[in-house]
Structures are given as structure tokens and as C-alpha cells.
Amino acid sequence: MSAEVEAAVARAFREEWGRVVATLIRTTGDWDLAEECAQGAFERALKTWPRDGVPRSPGAWLTTTARNLARDRLRRRATGAAKLEEVAMLRHNDEDPGRDTEDESGIHDDRLRLIFTCCHPALPLEARVALTLRTLAGLTTAEIARAFLVSEPTMAKRLVRAKAKIRNAAIPYRVPPAHLLPGRTGGVLVVLYLLFNEGYAATSGADLVRERLSAEAIRLARTLVRLMPDEPEALVLLALMLLHDARRAARVDGAGELVTLEEQDRDRWDRDKIREGEDILDAALRLGKVGPYRLQAAIAACHATAASAADDTDWAEIAALYDGWRGKHVLHRHDPGRENSIMDNLEVVRRWKQRSTRR
């Protein structure tokens, strides 16, 4: 296979996996079937793209192929009338799949539904993280198990249980209604932040799977920002992750040891990422309402834009930001509002980290 086609399949996998799975979950209501058929569609791409060329719109091609696979399987499974009805419904729901890109919004909605369902608070936190990685990012069970230092059967069981609960307890496949949205959005952000931290905090060895967690967290945050452009917290979290990630290359020396912020070679920081992080942070601030991720992001921006640690860092600004953070902490104890739930989320991250270090 030519390197070009191989790269196209890899790119399609990164960009389209979550979308294909999300659409199939909506049309079939069956999470396992959706995953299997998405997998099948990518396998078919590996076979046919080298021969027929990369389709003009890989996402539409993959979705159509996966849908056809799902229809065939459901038909084969269809023994009773109910199953036949399902097949009929699937056909009925099929908006013309050839007409891909114009239908962006519908397809995007499916991914948003999937994010919110994976991060439903009735699922245990570990399962939310694992399910997000499996269904949205397309990591294999083995890869997720490796990233979280558990055995593959343990991780497989965790995923099976989570999917069973979604089905048996009727966790709805939807974006929550307005009155639930703020709390649930905070819950999605905390899962993304956990993913990012799991990947970023890893210093031992160069485990590519863990590195991929940070990349997937950023990718999912970008998706969330595109889908919810008016949600300042999502923007801020994306900025925070970019500003941290920009320093990735300088954080570890040749021997794999952690390098402190003061001693990092600032020439190795990714200037483009820093600039993007700053721009996104500015955009979020223009939207008004601020939460605690904003303070962390602002602190990260101060560090990331200083040419040297001692002389150029705006320490006064950082001190003021930290004060602001603490002030908010106290304030929120008396004001159980929206931001409070985000403080709770940060607390979840802290506890999670403690647990991971004990592991």
C-alpha cells in the first residue's frame, strides 16, 4: 500500500472514527454493533482504498459502509418481527449518506450526543474515561488498559459493564436539556481534563499510548468547542491544555527525567501552540462568565509567554491570579452556583491523581 493511502486511512481513523460510531449508535441503538461496524468499515477501507483511490469524502464513505454493514447484520439477526422493524427503521432513518458534508450539523450532533452519554454521571468515573477513549477516540481496549495500568480483561469488563448500564438503565443518548446542561458540561470537561493529565503527567518511559491520551483530549476539546462555541469553559479548557502541551518537548530531558519550569529550554516550547492557546483564552474571556479553569489557563499563559523564568515572568500577575483562585474558592463555599460544580470537578481530578500515584 502506498504511504499516501496509508496516511489517508490513519487520518480518517483519527478524524472520523468517533463520528461513524456516534451515527451508528443513533441509527441502531446498539453500541457493540456500532463499534464492530465502524471497525469493519475501516478494514474495508484498508482493502479498497489502495485499489480504488481515497474517496473524495472519506467520512461519508466510512459512514455509508458502516451503515450497510449494520443493516446486513441486523437483517441476518432479524428473526422476530421486532427485529425486522428495527431494520426498517434503520432504512427509514438513513438520510442519503452520499450527501455528506452539507449535513455537518446532524452528524456533529451525534458526536455531541455520544460525548454526553459517555460522560453521564450515573456511570463510574473510570468507565466514563474508558468509554470516551473507546467510542470517540477509537483506542482499543488493550491500549486503554495499558494507559491506565490495568489488565486487558479488567478494562474489557469495565467497558462491557458501562455499556450494559447504558442499555439496561436507559441512559438517554442525547445532549442534555438546557436545565441540566451546565452541570453535565462540567462533567464532560473533567473527563477531558483527566485524559489530558493522564497523558501529560506520564514521565516514565516514552509510552506512546499515554502520549496519545493528551492528543486525544485536545482533539476532543476542539470538537466540543466547535460544537458548543458559546461555552466559555470548554474554550478555556482547550486553551489550558494547549498552553501546557506547548511545553511538552522541554519537560523531559534525554534521560527521561522531569525538567522544572525554570530550567526548561524555552526555545523548545511550541510557539504556535502558545499563540493559539492565548488567542482561545482571549476569545473565552470575551464571552464573559469565568470559571476556575480560566485562572489556571491564565497562569499557564503567563509562564508560557515569558522568555525566561526569573526575569521575564510576570510574577505579580501570577500571584494575583492565585489570590483570585483562592478567593473564588472561599466565595463559592457560600455560593453554591454553577462554578462550584467545576470546583468539585477539580477536586475529582485531585483525588484521581492521588489514586493514580498510589497505584
Partner 1 sequence: MRYMLMVYQDEEEFVAMDPGEVPDDAEPMPWVREMDARGVLKSGNVLRPASDATTVRVRDEETLLSDGPFAESKEQIAGYVIIECQDLDEAIEVASKHPAAGFGTIEVRPFWE
User: With respect to partner 1, which residue has the nearer C-beta, 29 or 97?
Assistant: 29
Q: Considering only residues 81, 170, 310, 316, which one is a binding residue for partner 1 as defined by CB under 8 A?
A: 170
Residue 168 as a binder of partner 1 (CB under 8 A): the answer is yes
Q: Do 33 and 66 contact (CB within 8 A), yes or no? A: no
Residue 180 engages partner 1 in binding (rule: CB under 8 A): yes
Residue 203 near residue 256 (C-beta atoms within 8 A): yes
Please report how close the Cβ of residue 30 comes to partner 1 at its closest, in angstroms: 17
Kindly tell me which of 179 and 358 has the beta carbon lying closer to partner 1.
179
Number of Cβ atoms within 10 Å of the Cβ of 313: 18
57 and 20 Cβ atoms separated by less than 8 Å: no
Tell me the window of 38-46, 169-177, 199-207, 331-339 that interacts with partner 1 (CB under 8 A). 169-177
Which set of grid coordinates corresponds to residue 321? 491570579
Distance of alpha carbon 234 from alpha carbon 224, whole angstroms: 7
187 binds partner 1 (CB under 8 A): no
Per-residue string for binding with partner 1, 109-148, x by CB under 8 A? -----------x-x--------------------------
Residue 294's CB is within 10 A of a number of other CB atoms, namely 26
Among the residue ranges 50-58, 164-172, 207-215, 301-309, the one whose residues contact partner 1 (CB under 8 A) = 164-172
Assess contact for 187 and 203: CB atoms under 8 A: no
CB of 166 to partner 1, least distance (A): 9
Residue type at 321 in one-letter notation? L
- The answer to the question of residue 164 lying near partner 1 (CB under 8 A) is no
The 210-249 contact track toward partner 1, x by CB under 8 A, reads: ----------------------------------------
> Binding to partner 1 by residue 171, rule CB under 8 A?
yes
Closest distance to partner 1 from the beta carbon of 180 (Å): 7
Which of the 8 DSSP states describes residue 259?
-
User: Number of residues in contact with partner 1, rule: CB under 8 A?
Assistant: 9
Query: What whole-number distance in Å separates Cα of residue 126 and Cα of residue 26?
Result: 24
Nine-digit cell string for 133 = 477513549
* Inter-residue contact 139 to 216 (CB < 8 Å): yes
Task: Look at residues 34, 36, 45, 38 and name the one whose alpha carbon lies nearest to residue 9.
Answer: 45
Of 119 and 155, the one with the shorter C-beta distance to partner 1 is 119
C-alpha cell at 176: 442534555
Assess 160 for contact with partner 1 (CB under 8 A): no
Q: Which residues pair with 258 in a beta bridge?
A: 252
At 252 the three-state DSSP class reads: strand
Of 53, 124, 153, 172, the one binding partner 1 (CB under 8 A) is: 172
Residue 106 vs 172, nearer CB to partner 1: 172
Range in contact with partner 1 (rule: CB under 8 A) among 41-49, 167-175, 271-279, 298-306: 167-175
Residue 258: helix, strand or coil by DSSP? strand
Angle among Cα 262, 194, 278 to the nearest 5 degrees reads: 50
Q: Output 122 or 316, the one with its CB closest to partner 1.
A: 122
Question: How many Å apart are CA 259 and CA 267, to the nearest integer?
Answer: 14
Binding range to partner 1, per CB under 8 A, among 44-52, 166-174, 321-329, 339-347: 166-174
Cell of 290: 469565568
- Which one of residues 18, 138, 176, 187 is an interface residue with partner 1 (CB under 8 A)? 176
Residue 269: CB minimum distance to partner 1, A: 44
Contact residues: partner 1, CB under 8 A: 120, 122, 168-172, 176, 180
